[in-house]
Amino acid sequence: MFWSHFLNPDKSSAKAGYHRISQKEARQMMEKPGILVVDVREPEEYAQGHIPGAHLLTLDRIDAKSAAEVIPDKETQTLVYCRSGHRSKMAAGMLVELGYTQIYEMGGILSWPYEVEHDQ
């Protein structure tokens, strides 16, 4: 099954552009310029709290056009997260299928120990 490859990534999937990283590694990456953070939850979830600077790209909206609006360059280092980690794995797989080469899946915001901002 297509999704089983992304739900249980191995070394070959990392070569294809999918990388599973810890939240500590993600936080360190965010300190570098040019890193894009993408939240794949629903707008209501995003408004309740998200990683500062994260762009919203809901899982059910991911296609070539919507992905290109948020991530114009397919070689941009992109961190992907959701609530618990399930949707971010699926989203990472979808983005790799669309040709993105630097997708870093970092799990869910429920376990994010760093800063979070809320929409007013």
Q: What is the pLDDT of residues 45-78, one digit of tens each?
A: 999 999 999 999 999 999 999 999 999 999 999 9
| pLDDT of res. 120 | 67
Is 59 an active-site residue? no
State how beta strands 55-56 and 78-82 pair: unpaired
Where does the pLDDT of residue 23 fall: very low under 50, low under 70, confident under 90, or very high at 90 and above? very high
Which homologous superfamily is 2-7+17-111 in?
Rhodanese-like domain (3.40.250.10)
Over range 82-91, report the average pLDDT: 97
**pTM, to two decimals:** 0.87
* 28, amino acid identity: Q
> What per-residue confidence (pLDDT) applies to 15?
52
Tell me, rounded to whole angstroms, the distance of Cα 114 from its chain centroid.
16
Spans of all domains in the chain: 2-7+17-111
DSSP state of 49: -
Q: Who has greater pLDDT, 67 or 6?
A: 67
Catalytic choice (82, 90, 91, 94) = 82
Structure-model confidence comparison of residues 68 and 4, the more confident one: 68
